[in-house]
Amino acid sequence: MKHTKKILALVLALSMVFTLCAFAQADGVEPAKEITLWTYPIGNWSNEEVVNSLVGDFEAETGIHVTVDYLTYTDGDDRVNTAITAGNAPDLLMEGPDRMVAGWGAQGHMVDLADMFDEKDLEEINPTVMDVVTSDDGSVYLYPLVMTAFCAGINVDAFKEAGADQYVDLENHTWTVDGFKAAVKALYDHFGSTAVAVYCAGQGGDQGTRALVTNFHGGTYTTPEHDGYTWDDPENIQAIEELAEMKGQGLEFDASLVGGDEIALFYQGVLKIALCWSIQQQLDPNLAGTGEGLTMNGEQIAFMNFPSQEGVDPVLNGGIWGFGIFDNGDEARIAAAKQFIQYMCDSEHTAEAVRQANYFGVRSAAADGTVDLSGIWDDNETMKEFNATVVPNMGDYYQISKGWNQARTAWWTMLQKVGEGEDIPTVVAQYCAEANEAAAAG
Amino acid sequence: MARAAQPTVSRALRRRETVSGYLFMLPSLVFFLGFVVIPMVICIFTSLTDSMMNNTKPVNFVGLANFQKLFQDEKFLEALKNTFIIVVVSVPVTCAFSLWVSSAIYKMNNFFLSAFRCIFYLPVVTGSVAVTVVWKWMYNNYYGVFNYLLGPQGLGVIEKNINWLGDPRFALGCIILILLTTSVGQPIVLYVSALGNVDQSLVEAAKVDGATNFQVFWRVKWPQMMPTTLYILVITTINSFQCFALIQLLTSGGSGTNTVMYYIYYTAFKLTSTAGHFGYANAMGVILAIFIGALSALQFWLAKER
């Protein structure tokens, strides 16, 4: 009996110790010492030298080694998809909500980061951004870092030479639809070549063509609930018809270009208007390092809101980027990845991480309010001007709509058909229906 | 005793040689099984399912549903049509052009013969991405060399720039032209070799009998080159069916240039939000393999008949 009691006591004691150990491990998982980060080209987060510096500082502070791989928009999705299928997805990914929230997050491949946001974070982060990165079920698959509004760009010197500068308000960076039409005509009459290309060889940079069409007569692209596509509304059809009428008169539906090609041609001075412009491009056109706001030939570039009807505010497409964590089933790696996110997005290092992206931060302060982020671009006049004249026009972030991948393909294929001269209402209805089918299936 | 033991030793030796043979073959066999046979089996099996990339749900067997859907899919039918256009145009042109060039150069001295072989073979050994980038630049709508040569500053044949890769009237033709330049190298080398191996005594005998040059070629040389021609036809046909990199890098399947190979890639890797896209893409792969196999068999049969 005496021995039995001793054995029982020992078993109980051991079980308590084991239980305590198990809880201790679950609560404070030791972070892994090595993680991987894949990043799409988001500002200088595509620049190896810059990223090495940011990541090097993180490594020095935490002892966690980060292996970085740089993706392109051409094959990045394929690489990530293949990696997921093969079971070797990266620990961290830097991209936007359309891929991480509506795509891989909704498919169950990403870690829910909701536990990383306390009340203070929710106060500091832009509520619209927080809404976009939060799924219907409350999961958060992307910790946001930066945001911007996509815009257009014009070659100011060319506009002045052609007398088209009278049609743009360079102070407020706005123009009307009639002003846009008149400017394109003036440029064509003067230079005799295409001034603006409605590029449609692929989905790259399609935010520009979408914004051009929807702003022409105030059309919409998706439903407010993001469960369907509305680009076949009469306003958009009218806009596309008017754009099609401009064909051969300075505007072309160009099925040989994507957004990146258009930027290159604009930078080279060939095209006089860019639809795939952004503040990142304005600060470093074509990422060529040849001077802020200048073309290759030294001509001045101005960023512009998309043309809208007289008295109507333009509605711009937004861009949001941040980090997500792939659920590879390794708690230690997930813990290390979360530490990386905390370091970049909510610490005294956040200002630098934001600045290197050449976009605006999504939060007013970081590190429990101890770091003020509201003035990180105060030393840059271009950013201040952009923030005052373009960012306020940022509209609904609809890129998280269901069936988004297929809808993007339907959009540029539709523009190609319009360029080929097919009946516009028919072709718009056909491809919008295709997108809606994908939305219904998704 | 020694006589009785002889066959046993011989059998043992034979067995050892057989085992050695199989062992030597093993590395290739492993690769063949791993990268050809097993993927083929997986492809056929997957084509009968609603398998989907990144799927966490169980895969369902759907029978021939993917194949039925394929022939109602307008995009697939358009891709199939484009693929056949590429094959029908590029295979005969490649063969005829290669034969013509080979006939013109095979009697040249070694220096010129080697030079021409190098020139025509260069696009084959140059990376397809590099070749495509150069062609893309030449076709460029705004500053391409073709528009410059044909435009007002050059020959003055065209008034306005042609959007070679963005206009469905020209895009597929442009793709075929690039395909031709990258396809003729090997056939030229093979034809030069085949023409050099033609039995000269038969050629001389035919000439003595009064045969014209055309008759000598058609009745004497051509039959002797038939195995080479068959090989070139089959290889060129398969290459044409598999046209992918050019489409992906130049047009992304737009401007009426979608091919089955590109559509397979697009469906498998881009439509990750579409249910069953893996099974559907594999069904296309099976159909493509059937077409390639059938056309190759037809070519073998025609060559045999001759």
The CATH number covering residue B160 comes to 1.10.3720.10
Range of the structural domain that residue B238 is part of: 20-305
Domains of chain A: 34-148+318-386 (3.40.190.10), 151-315+402-441 (3.40.190.10)
- Domain tally, chain B: 1
CB proximity B272 to A under 8 Å = yes
Residues of B in contact with A254 (CB under 8 A): 141, 163, 166
CB proximity B270 to A under 8 Å = yes
Q: Contact, A189 vs A162, CB < 8 A?
A: yes
Q: Contact, B186 vs B235, CB < 8 A?
A: yes
Chain B interface disruption, residue of A79, A107, A196, A256, most B CBs within 10 A? A256
Residue linked to tokens 């440029």: A187
* Residue B196 token pair: 């050099």
Residue B13 lies in a domain: no
CB proximity B273 to A under 8 Å = yes
DSSP state of A272: S
In angstroms, the CA A187 to CA A192 distance is 7
More confident residue, B54 or A342: A342
What is the rounded average pLDDT of the residues A259-281? 95
* pLDDT confidence of residue A84: 87
Beta strands in A286-334 (DSSP E): 301-304, 318-325
Residues of A in contact with B53 (CB under 8 A): 81, 84-85
Q: Contact, A397 vs A97, CB < 8 A?
A: yes
Residue B276 lies in a domain: yes
Residue B150 lies in a domain: yes
Across the interface, do A85 and B53 touch by the CB < 8 Å criterion?
Answer: yes
Select the residue of A254, A258, A406 nearest B273 (Cβ to Cβ).
Answer: A406
Residue B11 lies in a domain: no
Residue linked to tokens 């609930």: A225
Tens of pLDDT, residues B137-177: 999 999 999 999 998 888 988 888 899 999 999 999 999 99
Residues of A in contact with B141 (CB under 8 A): 254, 256-257
Select the residue of A82, A270, A405 nearest B142 (Cβ to Cβ).
Answer: A270
Distances (CA, A) of B202 to A408, B199, B219: 64, 6, 10
Residues of A in contact with B270 (CB under 8 A): 77-78, 405, 409
Burial class of A350 by CB neighbour count within 10 A (0 to 12, 13 to 18, 19+) = buried
Residues of A in contact with B255 (CB under 8 A): 201, 255-256, 416
* pLDDT confidence of residue B160: 86
* Arithmetic mean of pLDDT over chain B: 89
* pLDDT confidence of residue A375: 86
Residues of A in contact with B273 (CB under 8 A): 103, 402-406, 438, 442
Residue B3 lies in a domain: no
Confidence of residue B186 (pLDDT cuts 50, 70, 90): very high
Residue B5 lies in a domain: no
**ipTM of this complex prediction, to 2 decimal places:** 0.76
Tens of pLDDT, residues B15-57: 888 999 999 999 999 999 999 999 999 999 999 998 887 666 7
- Please give the share of chain B, as a percent, with pLDDT higher than 70: 94
What is the rounded average pLDDT of the residues A228-246? 96
Could you give the maximum distance between any two Cα atoms of chain A, in Å? 107
Tens of pLDDT, residues B123-137: 888 888 899 999 999
Tens of pLDDT, residues B71-104: 999 989 999 999 999 999 999 999 999 999 999 9
Q: What is the DSSP string of A190-239?
A: HH-S--EEEE-SSSTTHHHHHHHHHHHTT--SB-TTSSSB-TTSHHHHHH
Residue B114 lies in a domain: yes
Confidence of residue A410 (pLDDT cuts 50, 70, 90): very high
In angstroms, the CA B114 to CA B124 distance is 15
* Arithmetic mean of pLDDT over chain A: 90
Distance of alpha carbon B71 from its chain centroid, rounded?
A: 24
DSSP state of A323: E
Across the interface, do A254 and B273 touch by the CB < 8 Å criterion?
Answer: no
Confidence of residue B281 (pLDDT cuts 50, 70, 90): very high
Give the chain B residue whose CA is nearest to the CA of A192: B160
Residue B2 lies in a domain: no
**pTM of the full structure:** 0.83
Nearest to B96 by CA among B172, B183, B174: B183
